[in-house]
Copies of this chain bind each other. A is one copy, B any other.
Amino acid sequence: MSGAKGRDPGTFQLGEWLHGEGPNSDIAVCTRVRFARNVRGFRFSTLMDGEEAKELVAYIDTELTRADFLGEEYPDTPENRTLRALELGSLEDLDRRLLVERHLISRELAGLERARSVAVNPTESVAIMVNEEDHLRAQTFRSGFRLEDAYRRAELLDEALLRRLPLAFSEEFGFLTACPTNTGTGLRVSVMLHLPGLVWADEIEKATSTAQKIHLAVRGLYGEGSRALGDFYQVSNQVTLGRTEEQLLEDVHKAVERLIAWEREARAALLRGEAQVRTEDRVFRALGTLERARTLTSEEALTFLSAVRLGVQQGLIEGIGIPQLNRALLLSQPAHLQRLCMEKLSPVERDQRRAALIRDLLRPKP
C-alpha cells in the first residue's frame, strides 16, 4: 500500500455481508436473521455472577465448536459448517472493535465485562454471540436480498443448537428471552439497504415512515441522527411476540420489496432529463475527491463511497467494481484501518491513512 506501511489490504477477507452477490444486491447489501435463545439450568446472562458466566461460556463454546456443528443438512461446505470461538476477554480492544465493524458482534457485547464469546464460521455467514443479553444470539448472513434462504439457514442453525444444548422453551410464550420484546419466536429479520436514490431525491423520510407504519424499524447502519451515513439503512421487525415467524418474514419481505422498487424509481428519476447532469456531477465529484484527497474523515469516506457505489451500479463509472468499494467501506473503518497499518493511529493520522488506502484501492490496477 502506498504511503502507509502495514498489511496488504487484500489479506483482509470480506465477510458474507459484503460479498455483493445475491438478488437485488445493487440495493440490498445483506440479509440477516437473528434469534435469541437461552440455555436451561443457567440464570439469564444479565443476572449471573462472574463464575457462572465463565462456566456458561466454556460450556457453550465447547458445544458450538464441535466438528461439523451445523450438520450435513446445512447448505455449505464442510469447513464452513464448523465454527471457531473467540473469547472476547482474551482479545485486544482493537480486535473486539474489529469484530463489531465486521457485524459479527454487537457494540454491547464488545463492551461487557463478563465472560463472553463469539462463534463464527470461516466465511462469516454464521455468527453466534454468547452471553450477550441472552445466552445465545445466533445470526445467519446472506449477501443480497435472500430472506427465505437466510431464514432456512437460521432454522437449521436452531436445530443444530437444539441437538447440542438444552434450550429454554415455554409452551405458552415460546422461547424465553431476557428481554420480553424478543420472547416468542425470538426472531429478528433485517435487510441492509443502500438507498442513495431515496436520500438524494429527498424521499427517504417518506419511505422509512411507510415501513414504520407496519411496525418495522428503519435505522441508519452508520452514524446517528436522521441521516444515515453512507445512505445505508437497516430494515427489521420490531416485535416478535404474538406474530408467527411466517408473518414476520412476510412483513419484512413486502416492505423491503417496496423499498427496493421505490429506490429503483428514485435512481431512474435521478438519471432522467435535467437531473442527470446534476447526479453525474455529484457521483464523479465524489470519485474525484476519493481519488485525490489527502485526508478523509470516516463520514466523508462513507458519503463519497455511497455516491461512487451508486455511480458504479447505475453504469456511470467504469473500471471500478463493487468489491473494491466494499473493501474500501470495510477497511476504512477505524479498527480495520489500524489493524491494516499495524499500529495505533491518532484520529488525524487515521484520516490520512484512510485517504491513502482509498486512493490505493480505487487506482486502476495494471
- Chain A residues at the B interface, C-beta cutoff of 8 Å: 277-278, 280-281, 284-285, 287-295, 348, 352, 355
Contact = CB atoms under 8 A, between A and B. Distances in A.
Given A284-B294, A294-B284, A352 B277 contact: yes
B292 A278 contact: no
B293 A284 contact: yes
Contact of A284 (B280, B285, B292): B292
A163 B277 CA distance: 58
A355 B277 CA distance: 11
A356 B149 CA distance: 47
A292 B287 CA distance: 7
B291 A277 contact: no
A277 B294 contact: yes
Contacts of A291: 288, 291-292
A356 to B, nearest CB: 11
6 contacts: A277-B294, A284-B293, A285-B288, A285-B289, A285-B292, A289-B289
Contacts of A355: 281
Contacts of A284: 292-294
Contacts of A280: 294
A347 to B, nearest CB: 13
A288 B281 contact: no
Contacts of A295: 277-278, 281
Contacts of A289: 285, 288-289
Nearest to A316: B294
| Shortest beta-carbon contacts, A-B, top 9 | A288-B292, A288-B288, A281-B294, A284-B292, A280-B294, A281-B295, A288-B289, A285-B293, A288-B291
A289 B295 CA distance: 15
Contacts of A348: 277
B278 A288 contact: no
A352 B278 CA distance: 10
A58 B138 CA distance: 93
Nearest to A284: B292
A54 B1 CA distance: 70
A355 to B, nearest CB: 8
A280 B294 CA distance: 6
Nearest to A349: B277
